[in-house]
Structure 1
Amino acid sequence: MRVRLFSICLCSLVAGGSLSNTLQAADLEAGRTKVKSTCRVCHGLDGLGKLPDVPNLAGEGTIYLSKQLKAFRSGERTHQQMSIIAKGLSDEDIVNLAAYYAAIKVTVEVPE
């Protein structure tokens, strides 16, 4: 856990911002509202992909999610649906969406 947290903080600093600033600037309710209107059909309100080829977003890091959404928006990364959807997202939308999905708590059970 400490290694992952250190990696997240280090990546955030390298990317030119601090993790706490990103989280403070995020509006989780605005993220939830945007998820309801834009992301829910495929990724769900709970962040769990609704189709076999749709990734789960629940609990993913804000930096990763933001980077991927920006890559879809810019055309650096392409996907038939995500490229179209991401083009309509503002920087503020991306911060809020990423923070919302990152804030979802994920639990894991190890098989016995």
Structure 2
Amino acid sequence: MKLVVSLVAALVASSAFAAAPAAGPASKGDPKAAESIVNQLCAGCHAVDGNSPAAANPKLAGLNAEYLNKQLNEFKSGARQSPVMSGMVASLSPQDMLNLAAYYSAQQPKPATAKDKELALAGQKIYRGGVQGAGVPACASCHGPQGQGIPAQFPRLAGQHGDYIYAQLEAFRLGNRANDAAKMMRSIATKMTDADMKAVAAYIEGLR
């Protein structure tokens, strides 16, 4: 499910990375009610516990429920494009999506280790301080020093597959992913070099 396109998710994204109709106080997800959907639709790519073993498929465990619900709604509306995910969510009701978001947000994310230590060290500088002179802000300013994210726009990134993070940055840069509020991620990604993206993705994978 390349670019699934779903860290973020799609970690993240999400991210990693415009908001769905906000759930009101009475509209809350039931993790237990999502279990059958997880087993039937989600586990094959994202695993039952949300710690996807495949680098192309985002880890969902521990992502904020508001962020997850937003992404699911936007896959369904088409605001976020993915032939695979749009098919997966086509039959889901708004409550189903709330339930799934609650389920995966309650799962425990498993830490990962950066595969390329030298590349990750270069990425650490970008994550913490941005790219001076290029107009790239520190990733930590929105996603947090430890990559925990800020609900609901800025997803948890810590431990997300590096390949997925890179794929999302590239999608933002090319405009293939366009569900970021105020074009924030698209604006940032266009100022990053390919080397910048690979470095920060390597650092995020080992962030905990």
- Structure 2 unaligned regions, length at least 5: 1-21, 113-205
- Counterpart of 2:196 in structure 1 is none
Distance in 1 (alpha carbons) for counterparts of 2:31 and 2:53: 22
| Segments of 4+ moved more than 2 angstroms | 15-18, 105-111
CA RMSD of aligned residues (A): 2.4
The answer as to 2:63 corresponding to 1:56 is: no
Q: Deviations over 1:17-40 (max 9, x none)?
A: 34xx44xx3221111221001101
Shift of 1:48: 1.4
- Counterpart of 1:8 in structure 2 is none
Q: Which structure would you say has the larger Rg?
A: 2
Q: Percent identity?
A: 38
The answer as to 2:103 corresponding to 1:100 is: yes
> What pairs up with 1:26-45 in 2 under 5 angstroms?
26-45=29-48
Structure-2 change in CA distance of 1:93 and 1:16 (3 Å): closer
Aligned length, in residue pairs: 94
Distance in 1 (alpha carbons) for counterparts of 2:56 and 2:111: 21
Q: Which of 83, 90, 94 is residue 91 of structure 1 equivalent to?
A: 94
- Structure 1 unaligned regions, length at least 5: 1-14
Q: Larger helix proportion, structure 1 or 2?
A: 1
Normalising to structure 1: TM-score of the pair? 0.73
